[in-house]
Structure 1
């Protein structure tokens, strides 16, 4: 159940049932993802007043399991002169900032303050001593200012007894790294980029370790895999001062249209690396036909590494998902509202594909994605919500996240030739 200040989740057209979406008004990037005292905190870019981008503030929701979300009042609000752009939160266990105490450590938000006249972006702090319910802006803000109009999205973590900030220089196609002992005074360490995909600005970076590798996630807009927004990642090592990539090969985190600006949670139990993205695309986000809200998050996914590929595994829903899985080397299924409205997913000509042309609207966007795969039979898992499908293939090494539009919901599965080992849960099975 997703609850909001006014009560339980609504039943508006396209309203997702197990993806987080705000009760009303605009939402984009996830911010400040963190687990603390039994709660996952989701902060997010939010317009508290309108269903379009603007008045950027940090919305807030909490959950014990990443699905039962409770939306809370706005956490950090904009001013007439400034917007509160993307960032991260940490728990200051050592009280390095002096905001709290060792007994009651502060939750500290590190965010980008954006001048509405577009003259400058700088990094600021706000802190909470009541588990994120209220925040106080630091009187000494900004704590990092390089006098640049494009300098944003700090992801901060505690690494090797110091705070490490990973932050974007969007117009330069660079990611910069800074270090601090108290979150207030920052020293520049190094820069990474430009390299690989540079067809748009670089945003919303995240640096973390998976096994014996370090991963650097970089969102890109425009210049995605097919159109508009996309997310690439690099593999390499962090040597304490700089990120050294193994290569400059392009690796896409998602081959669908609708997964952008995603980052991972800090402070998770068992150090699980859990990712959450904004399920939309800047090509059409403003005209997305939903009311009274606009924007949702992807499924939360645990990341792991197999060879040189990130594996994404959806976090299990307590009640299970409506989903279908099958194997094929040359076959497909359709997930249908009826015989005229459906999504087709399968393999043909040695390519994995998803075709949403029969489950889309008038918005101008590609409705076919294809990804070359190795020869042979592959596994495909599709999780279905109202308004979206998420495809996890080859054990989660290939992922496609796509918004869809049908009048009610996708409720049945129709296997086509070549679809083997079909398993269906929470959906009906029909035949042509």
Structure 2
């Protein structure tokens, strides 16, 4: 790889030579996962918004296809979703083919009679999602709003009947709006939700889905996710979620901390999809087998997204995560783990393992642990140290520091010396998330790639996704303790490259 392309990820999807942002139209269909995404087909910065397209059969290896739905003189193609219209409720299908229907936001330009408006439109595919035809009757849902966008559509089934539900946002009002339809063309307003909890920036890219609590299919709760930019817990873009009930008309949150506009001092009390700087616009796949709920996010932050030093492409996606819901202290917590498919990634060489031992004060290079693409599984017991943990993609004293501060009850990702940081003033950061001791220990699973770390702490109860841009020769892994000692109980590093 050229130095310019040294950051191309091995485990994450990135486009060949264009700009990528929000995931769109996620669906499992005819044996393949379809990942559409906001794409600038002509450049490596935001603009000319169209839907890019990639497919995978295993969530590991992705094939990039031609642009699926392209912008034109009248509209940009903003975010949205895809449904498999099995019963041809839309009438777009034929006798032999049920259609895939994309519901997307038309961001109308000056050449359009609707210029300045964002409204919802349809496109359909009869070849399994590779070629798309825009519906001549677009837009199908217009509120005459400049910020009405990001429709996520799903089929709602109940004793009272079944219909399509659309979850979208009035972005600048911090409001999620719910609509219903029988044919995907005529939409009726059901209800709205918000403002609530984090409102430090516009609301975008909502999703709504049921999950069993603690794996019990008779105890379902609904999870509403909504992303915001800026206003994240560590600055810039982030995603939050609410847990509650949806009766086919109204979503009722049981986890609202502050209704109305947020209290900036309560950010740490809100429920965040990810506490890192680089996990935005996350949405879930439709129609995944076995009822799994899989999500993927854009691995970047609007504070510096257009400036990250990758070429000839810009922005990766996160790893695909499987989400579940656990009861905790009378409430619920979304738990996220890397999709099980990633456990089958072929290792490049035998794993590095280390038994239990004390971590003395200072930084301790692990001989034989170096690597640029790896999964690190570690369990620590606190001791007298104020902070302890790992340094990854290191070189000498530099590297990305992932540490626990037990008395502060936080986990820290420090990327001030992670490699290239000077491309934007907001990038060199120390990001923190609350973490609780469990069974007297802290368990971390860390996925390290050419330009990122994704940290899953305490079994996925806390996650932090962070871009990093280290030198290709910065591959060291070290343990460290500051202000005392700590204990490493076990350490296993799987090397992928």
Q: State the TM-score, normalizing by the size of structure 2.
A: 0.82
d(CA) in 1 for partners of 2:96 and 2:292?
A: 25
- Within the candidate set 461, 467, 473, 1:397 is matched to 461
Query: What is the CA deviation profile of residues 131-165 of structure 1, one whole-angstrom value per residue up to 9, with x for unaligned ones?
Result: 11100001111110011111000000111210000
Q: Which residue of 2 aligns with 1:235?
A: 243
d(CA) in 2 for partners of 1:312 and 1:260?
A: 15
- Is 1:338 aligned to 2:346, yes or no? no
Q: Which residue of 2 aligns with 1:14?
A: 7
d(CA) in 2 for partners of 1:219 and 1:410?
A: 33
The answer for unaligned runs of 5 or more in structure 2 is 213-219, 258-269, 347-372, 383-387
- Is 1:358 aligned to 2:417, yes or no? yes
- Within the candidate set 133, 137, 142, 1:140 is matched to 137
Residue 387 of structure 1 and its aligned partner are, at CA, apart by 0.3
d(CA) in 2 for partners of 1:200 and 1:412?
A: 38
d(CA) in 1 for partners of 2:322 and 2:37?
A: 20
- Within the candidate set 418, 425, 432, 2:494 is matched to 425
How do 1:14-53 residues align onto structure 2 when only pairs under 5 Å count?
14-53=7-46
Indicate conservation of the 8 Å contact 1:412/1:427, yes or no: no
Residue 411 of structure 1 and its aligned partner are, at CA, apart by 2.9
The answer for unaligned runs of 5 or more in structure 1 is 1-7
Indicate conservation of the 8 Å contact 1:328/1:346, yes or no: no
Indicate conservation of the 8 Å contact 2:92/2:124, yes or no: yes
- Is 1:414 aligned to 2:478, yes or no? yes
- Is 1:245 aligned to 2:272, yes or no? no
Indicate conservation of the 8 Å contact 1:261/1:278, yes or no: yes
d(CA) in 2 for partners of 1:427 and 1:356?
A: 22
Q: Which residue of 2 aligns with 1:221?
A: 229
Please tell me the root mean square deviation across aligned C-alpha atoms, in Å.
1.8
- Within the candidate set 298, 306, 310, 2:334 is matched to 310
Q: Which residue of 1 aligns with 2:314?
A: 294
d(CA) in 2 for partners of 1:291 and 1:200?
A: 29
| Secondary structure of 1:270's aligned partner | helix
Give the 3 Å change call, closer, same or farther, for CA 421–144 of structure 1 in structure 2. Answer: same
d(CA) in 2 for partners of 1:327 and 1:410?
A: 24
Q: Which residue of 1 aligns with 2:79?
A: 86
Indicate conservation of the 8 Å contact 2:395/2:473, yes or no: no
Residue 71 of structure 1 and its aligned partner are, at CA, apart by 0.3
- Within the candidate set 297, 303, 315, 1:283 is matched to 303
Q: Which residue of 2 aligns with 1:174?
A: 175
| Secondary structure of 2:306's aligned partner | helix
The structure with the largest alpha-carbon Rg is 2
| Secondary structure of 1:416's aligned partner | strand
Indicate conservation of the 8 Å contact 1:336/1:414, yes or no: no
Indicate conservation of the 8 Å contact 1:218/1:233, yes or no: yes
Q: Which residue of 1 aligns with 2:376?
A: 324
d(CA) in 1 for partners of 2:298 and 2:391?
A: 25
Q: State the TM-score, normalizing by the size of structure 1.
A: 0.94
Give the 3 Å change call, closer, same or farther, for CA 78–409 of structure 1 in structure 2. Answer: farther
Give the 3 Å change call, closer, same or farther, for CA 145–10 of structure 1 in structure 2. Answer: farther
Query: What is the CA deviation profile of residues 211-268 of structure 1, one whole-angstrom value per residue up to 9, with x for unaligned ones?
Result: 1110000000010111110100000000110100003131011010000001000011
Indicate conservation of the 8 Å contact 2:394/2:477, yes or no: no
- Is 1:269 aligned to 2:262, yes or no? no
